[in-house]
């Protein structure tokens, strides 16, 4: 049994998070997302609405450092509650939130390292998380210079300058 009972217990999802490297993409999608046949599918769907996309995103967020988060440009206008949830979840994480055409989100299925299917029926409920790194441990050595982009992420994540 894992030491932290609040961490991800699903073995496949836990493995996918552990396997994720810098710039790899993990998708959390609603029940209707067209998952490509050759994709690594982690199917958590049980019944309609179980689990919710938000529940899975929160669990993943607790264990994965996001660098960039993509979702459909329709969300802010057509599903403002989900937009607010995403903005709140990723606020202060150092992640760049970006809306893109819905078709561009669908196309990410071929690039994702894993696609996590939920049971939720959520309009435009598909999110692409591009994995990042925590700049603090990577650039804490002597005579190592932190590039500006990582300095900005550090400040966003820690609320202070490195």
CA distance 123 to 114: 21
Domain that holds residue 65: 11-131
Domain annotation covers residue 145: no
| Residue 150 within a domain | no
Look at residue 49 and tell me if it is in a domain: yes
* Domain contains 162: no
Is 126 a domain residue? yes
Q: 9, 22, 123, 152: which is the annotated catalytic residue?
A: 22
b/e map of 123-144 (b: 16 or more CB within 10 Å)? ebbbbbbbbbbebeeebeeeee
Query: Which pLDDT value is given to residue 155?
Result: 86
Cis before 51? omega within 30 = yes
61 part of the active site = no
Q: Which CATH number do you get for residue 124? A: 3.40.1650.10
Return the DSSP state at 51. Answer: S
Distance CA 26, CA 116 (A): 8
Smallest CA-to-CA distance from 8 within 132, 153, 19, 157 is with: 19
Q: Is residue 152 part of a domain?
A: no
Q: Please check whether residue 58 lies inside any domain of the structure.
A: yes
* Residue 102 vs residue 3, higher pLDDT: 102
Number of independent structural domains in the chain: 1
In a domain, 80, yes or no: yes
The DSSP string of 26-47 is EEEE-TT----TTS-EEE---B
Query: What global pTM score does this model have?
Result: 0.92
The predicted pLDDT at position 1 comes to: 65
- pLDDT for 19: 95
Q: Which tens digits make up the pLDDT trace of 89-123?
A: 999 888 999 999 999 999 999 999 999 999 999 99
Has residue 18 got a pLDDT over 70?
Answer: yes
């Amino acid at each position: 049994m894992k030491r932290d009972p609040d961490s991800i217990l699903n073995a496949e999802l836990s493995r996918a998070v552990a396997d994720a490297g810098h710039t790899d993409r993990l998708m959390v999608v609603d029940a209707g997302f067209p998952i490509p046949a050759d994709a690594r599918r982690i199917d958590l769907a049980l019944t309609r609405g179980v689990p919710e996309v938000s529940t899975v995103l929160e669990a993943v967020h607790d264990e994965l450092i996001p660098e960039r988060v993509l979702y459909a440009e329709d969300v802010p206008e057509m599903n403002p509650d989900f937009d607010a949830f995403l903005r709140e979840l990723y606020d202060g994480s150092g992640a760049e939130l970006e809306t893109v055409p819905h078709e561009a989100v669908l196309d990410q299925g071929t690039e994702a390292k894993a696609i996590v299917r939920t049971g939720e029926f959520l309009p435009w409920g598909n999110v692409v998380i591009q994995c990042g790194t925590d700049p603090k441990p990577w650039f804490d050595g002597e005579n190592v210079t932190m590039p500006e982009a990582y300095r900005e992420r550090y400040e966003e994540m820690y609320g202070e300058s490195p």
